[in-house]
């Protein structure tokens, strides 16, 4: 045991019932945060979170832990900035140590076109409340002394946008903090229980079928990560979502002192350092839609090759672990939150490769929507019917590499 795993959680496991006011499918960050805020902000505790595996076994326990708000459109910047601020207060609020650390994020550019994108990013972010500056090579070197500004002689670093408030937090601790807070207030979490269908009364969804029997519900929310298409199909809801695999890896420990987060949109890769000192590296999602969680050598080799151009010290480290998650990538790269057009069935999806940072705000806003029956202003732009209304929230800046 060490300081990273020492905490004994005070989970309150409740006996399953046959009926709840709210049933949430999926015990990832979004499902558990919604349950937590239903309990803490609305006093709704007759809630079950149903998880096919163990909580956090999906993407919420597999991500590269980056929290940022430097998105490409005002609606997204405002939403993620709110989430970033909720994250900053989450340890105080829940009493759980989630290893939150503000680090700053350098989004580096190697071409004039790239620099134009970073300058634009800095302007729109700052205008919408997410402090971001355009910086030159010398400032980059001060923030990240390990960087090779020549980019291995091939990819010279011309500048970057520097997003001051970007942070990291340990992913599974975030899941546990929300689960513990919800369960202590009476929420039931059923692990190793798979939802196999939705129960309908006419058009309305009135419960779920599980591999342990039916459970009825006043309202059902789906927050099942990359499995959303299958769950939504039970309600005859077609979503503009495709499931893509995303891989990441960590190295052995490097000397402490790699303080920031570096992202490179032109080479499509990013890196930060974990509290243990390991270098945590990721890239773009696989272009081929798939439910496969198999990690590949191709992905590892190509990402390692790209990231070492500007950070040559990484060449001396060893790869310790590589893993994969399956992501619910929406057509416009923005989340889809809210009503589906089917009574009794709401969704939180389209979190793709960017949804860890959205967990606090996504959970808070979905809880408000469920409790009040009204869509909160902050997430109104992310309603499913935006596609039918031709109001897509196109934002390639959602992916950490664009
Ligand atoms: C490698 C990788 C790196 C990433 N890096 C970042 C990052 O740095 N920053 C960031 O913001 N985002 C990142 N993401 C994205 C982020 O992790 C996800 O968007 C987010 O965790 C989604 O949370 P969720 O609660 O919607 O889904 P999940 O955490 O995937 O939870 C869904 C849960 O539903 C369960 N489930 C599925 N089907 C059923 C069923 N039929 N019945 C019951 N339960 C079911 C699953 O077992 C799972 O536990 C990354 C993702 C990956 C894979």
pLDDT higher than threshold 60 for residue 70: yes
Q: Read off the DSSP letter of residue 289.
A: B
pLDDT higher than threshold 90 for residue 128: yes
What sign results for the dihedral spanned by CA atoms 77, 139, 105, 287? positive
Q: Which residues contact 322 (CB under 8 A, 6 or more apart)?
A: 247, 248, 249, 295, 299, 300
* 272 and 249 within one domain: yes
* 247 and 310 within one domain: yes
pLDDT at 283 (0 to 100): 93
Mean pLDDT of 265-282: 94
- The Å distance, Cα 154 to ligand 1 centre, comes to 36
Instruction: Name which of 244, 226, 266, 81 is nearest 167 in CA terms.
Output: 81
Q: Read off the DSSP letter of residue 306.
A: H
* 138 and 253 within one domain: yes
pLDDT at 14 (0 to 100): 84
The answer to whether residue 84 sits within a structural domain is no
| Cα gap 330→336, rounded to integer Å | 8
With pLDDT > 90 as the criterion, what percentage of the chain qualifies? 92
**Binning pLDDT at 50, 70 and 90, where does residue 1 land?**
very low
Q: Which residues contact 287 (CB under 8 A, 6 or more apart)?
A: 244
Indicate whether residue 166 lines ligand 1 (CB < 6 A): no
pTM: 0.97
**Binning pLDDT at 50, 70 and 90, where does residue 4 land?**
low
146: domain CATH number is: 3.30.9.10
Which residues does residue 24 pair with via DSSP β-bridges, in sequence order? 49, 221
- The Å distance, Cα 371 to ligand 1 centre, comes to 24
* 326 and 336 within one domain: no
* 248 and 209 within one domain: no
pLDDT at 2 (0 to 100): 59
* 326 and 249 within one domain: yes
Indicate whether residue 70 lines ligand 1 (CB < 6 A): no
Indicate whether residue 51 lines ligand 1 (CB < 6 A): yes
**Binning pLDDT at 50, 70 and 90, where does residue 397 land?**
confident
pLDDT at 256 (0 to 100): 86
* 326 and 371 within one domain: no
Indicate whether residue 357 lines ligand 1 (CB < 6 A): yes
**Binning pLDDT at 50, 70 and 90, where does residue 306 land?**
very high
Helix, strand, or coil (residue 396): helix
Q: Are 301 and 347 in contact (CB under 8 A)?
A: no
pLDDT higher than threshold 90 for residue 106: yes
With pLDDT > 70 as the criterion, what percentage of the chain qualifies? 97
Indicate whether residue 26 lines ligand 1 (CB < 6 A): yes
The answer to whether residue 158 sits within a structural domain is yes
State the average pLDDT for the chain. Answer: 95
- The Å distance, Cα 142 to ligand 1 centre, comes to 35
Indicate whether residue 28 lines ligand 1 (CB < 6 A): yes
| Cα gap 202→335, rounded to integer Å | 29
Q: Are 402 and 396 in contact (CB under 8 A)?
A: yes
Q: In degrees rounded to 5, what are phi and psi of residue 220?
A: -115, 130
* 258 and 140 within one domain: yes
pLDDT higher than threshold 60 for residue 192: yes
- The Å distance, Cα 118 to ligand 1 centre, comes to 28
pLDDT higher than threshold 60 for residue 222: yes
Q: Mind listing the pLDDT tens digit for each residue in 33-45? A: 999 999 999 999 9
- The Å distance, Cα 148 to ligand 1 centre, comes to 34
């Amino acid at each position: 045991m060490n300081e990273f795993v020492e905490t004994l959680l005070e989970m309150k496991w409740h006996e399953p019932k046959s009926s709840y006011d709210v049933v949430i499918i999926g015990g990832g960050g979004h499902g558990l945060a919604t349950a937590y805020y239903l309990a803490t902000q609305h006093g709704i505790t007759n809630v079950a979170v149903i998880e096919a595996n163990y909580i956090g076994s999906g993407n919420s326990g597999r991500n590269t832990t980056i929290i940022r708000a430097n998105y490409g459109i005002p609606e997204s910047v405002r939403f993620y900035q709110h989430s970033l601020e909720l994250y900053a207060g989450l340890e105080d609020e829940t009493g759980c140590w989630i290893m939150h650390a503000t680090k700053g994020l350098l989004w580096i550019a190697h071409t004039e076109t790239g620099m134009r994108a970073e300058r634009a990013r800095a302007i729109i972010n700052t205008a919408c409340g997410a402090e971001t500056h355009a910086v030159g090579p010398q400032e980059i070197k001060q923030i990240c002394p390990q960087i090779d500004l020549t980019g291995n002689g091939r990819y010279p670093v011309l500048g970057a946008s520097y997003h001051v408030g970007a942070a990291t937090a340990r992913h599974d601790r975030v899941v546990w903090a929300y689960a513990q807070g919800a369960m202590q207030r009476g929420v039931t979490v059923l692990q190793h229980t798979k939802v196999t269908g939705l129960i309908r009364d006419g058009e309305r969804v009135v419960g779920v079928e599980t591999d342990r029997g039916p459970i009825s519900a006043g309202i059902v929310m789906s927050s099942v990560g990359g499995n959303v298409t299958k769950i939504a199909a039970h309600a005859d809801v077609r979503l503009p979502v495709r499931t893509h695999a995303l891989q990441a890896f960590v190295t052995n420990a490097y000397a402490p002192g790699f303080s920031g987060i570096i992202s490179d949109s032109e080479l499509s890769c990013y890196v930060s350092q974990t509290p243990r000192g390991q270098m945590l590296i990721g890239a773009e999602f696989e272009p081929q839609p798939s439910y496969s969680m198999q990690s590949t050598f191709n992905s590892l080799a190509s990402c390692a090759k790209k990231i070492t151009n500007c950070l040559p010290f990484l060449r001396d480290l060893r790869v310790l672990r590589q893993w994969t998650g399956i992501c619910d990538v929406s057509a416009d790269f923005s989340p889809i939150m809210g009503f589906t057009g089917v009574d009794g069935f709401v969704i939180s999806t389209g979190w793709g490769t960017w949804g860890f940072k959205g967990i606090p705000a996504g959970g808070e806003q979905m809880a408000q929507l469920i409790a009040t029956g009204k869509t909160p202003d902050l997430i109104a732009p992310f309603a499913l019917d935006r596609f039918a209304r031709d109001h897509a929230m196109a934002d390639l800046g959602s992916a950490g590499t664009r």
